Amino acid sequence: MSPRSHDRLRGLGFLVADINRLMRKEFDRRVRHLGLTRAQWLFISYLKRQPGCTQRELAEALQLEKITVGRQAERLMRSGWISRRDHAADGRAYRLHLTPRAARMAERLAEVAVGLRRDYLRGVRPVRRLELRDDLLQIKSNLQHMEANGKKPFTSP
């Protein structure tokens, strides 16, 4: 890699973080009228994809402390957004499920996400979108490999 291309890639992590921040900010703006906090819509969106997950699984997926997820689950349950059901194999755990009201909200959130994705990908050719996605998945895989191997450097063949 030439020094010049290395300099252009140096800010890649910052660029990815900034894009993520801007996407979240715009999504927040688009759903503000629905009256949900970011934590609530993340919770609902994840449960839509993983119905019946435990609070521990949700905490891991959202990279939050278990106590934080437990408190949010309690608030969402009291507000009629989710239900807790006993875990058949573990008497200490609950399975979390969306109520019909939350399932409808999850559909609205998904529609907003589709519109946002359409808007932020404007001007990027469809073939480049797929290549970009594949490249980002490769980067993610490399990082997961490093994590799984105790942060040892990854060398490609």
Q: Where are the domains positioned within the chain?
A: 15-122
Tokens of 65: 């402390």
Burial class of residue 153, CB neighbours in 10 A (0-12, 13-18, 19+): exposed
Q: Which of 15-19, 28-32, 70-74, 89-93 has the lowest mean pLDDT?
A: 89-93
Q: pTM of the prediction?
A: 0.74
What is residue 98's predicted lDDT score, i.e. its pLDDT? 96
pLDDT at 6: 59
115-127: average pLDDT? 97
DSSP string across 3-40: HHHHHHHHTHHHHHHHHHHHHHHHHHHHHGGGT--HHH
User: Is the predicted pLDDT of residue 99 greater than 80, yes or no?
Assistant: yes
pLDDT of residue 151: 65
Q: What pLDDT shows up at residue 7?
A: 65
In words, the CATH class of domain 15-122 is mainly alpha
